Amino acid sequence: MYGMVTLGYGFNPKNFAIIKYIFTYLGAIAIGINLPIDKIFDNKASLPCLFILFIMALGAAVSPDIGIFLAKVYGQENYMDVSYRLIFMDPNPNMVGQVAVVLAMMSIVSYQRLAILPLVTAGIVVILCASRANIVILTIFILFYFSQHGNLKRLLLILLGIVIIFTLCEVNRPLLNPLFQRRVPRIESFRTGIVGRLYTYKQSLADFRDSPLMGKGYRKRYMIGSKYFDYAGSTTAIEAHSEWVAFLCNHGIIGFLSLCGFSYEIGRRLLEICRKSGSEKDSIKSEQVRKFLLAVYLCYLVSMIPWETLYLPIYSSFFFVCFGKIYHIKE
């Protein structure tokens, strides 16, 4: 599959950045294969790192001086985009939120009795980034992971935490201006994000019809023709905002089937190892790992609907470590 992606990039030296993704993800898989099962739930540094990110994000949102300093540290031109979304780590405003969500996932399984803390902390960071997709993915992980454990009381407490976060942001919007006032409306306007993506999907499918077998190559529409996607008629985008649609457009039927095969094979392997779950020989920790990996797999599939996730190294590196673990667990 990654061979297809590399070929799709073409021969522009700048386009060979894809190679760094290949080696990064292969390394992530190798880490997952060699990671002992008991280390999956031993991420004690994840919660302190999440708190540090929370302080950084809150500081950048409150103080322009702090935001500019952080942007310089990460080599960015600015710390906030025109819609007040934090971008001090990366030009993509979703990136800070993705770091928060990954750290929250690791913190929740490592500090299960304190799960509300990483949820609230990551939730506030995601709101400061005004990232709707990150909110959906974190919520899916919480619901799916804890519902499998049958701990309804903890699940209800976490759902209550989610409701409290959004209620406080809504009720206190005038008091927290401009900290939340400029961001909450964007989060609430899911319709805008859906309509904008439907615009890019329609244009991507038109490109697919021009080259259905091999596709046009990753971002060739933008890199060669300087053609942007029309995003809801009010702005533009350089990508399709969906891995499934993008693979069909960029790499044709062959690339799309490769992506489907990749997703199917991981899902098939997960189902095989989950059939063993609950047996007498199966340890409680091994069963918890299986449930955690299943929740992560579901989140990754969902993330590929609104994003081109394979080109988001923060999410994909974490997920590929987990996928490597899938092939280390014996059936």
pLDDT (tens digit per residue) in 54-106: 999 888 888 889 989 988 888 888 888 777 788 888 888 888 888 899 999 88
* Cβ neighbour number for residue 114 with a 10 Å cutoff: 12
**Mean pLDDT, the chain, integer:** 75
The domain spans of the chain are 1-34+190-331, 36-188
Give the residue among 112, 147, 98, 142 at the shortest CA–CA distance from 42.
112
Q: How confident is the model at residue 51 (pLDDT cuts 50, 70, 90)?
A: very high
Q: How confident is the model at residue 115 (pLDDT cuts 50, 70, 90)?
A: confident
SS3 string of the chain? CHHHHHHHHCCCHHHHHHHHHHHHHHHHHHHHHHCCHHHHCCCCCHHHHHHHHHHHHHHHHHCHHHHHHHHHHCCCCCCECCCCCECCCCCCCHHHHHHHHHHHHHHHHHCHHHCHHHHHHHHHHHHHHCCHHHHHHHHHHHHHHHHHCCCHHHHHHHHHHHHHHHHHHHHCCCCCCCCCCCCHHHHHCHHHHHHHHHHHHHHHHHHHHHCCCCCCCCCHHHHCCCCCEEECCCEEECCCCCHHHHHHHHHHHHHHHHHHHHHHHHHHHHHHHHHHCCCCCCCHHHHHHHHHHHHHHHHHHHHCCCCCHHHCHHHHHHHHHHHHHHCCCCC
pLDDT (tens digit per residue) in 256-280: 888 898 889 888 888 887 776 555 4
Say what the pTM is.
0.80
pLDDT (tens digit per residue) in 162-184: 676 666 655 555 544 455 556 66
Share of the chain above pLDDT 90, in %: 5
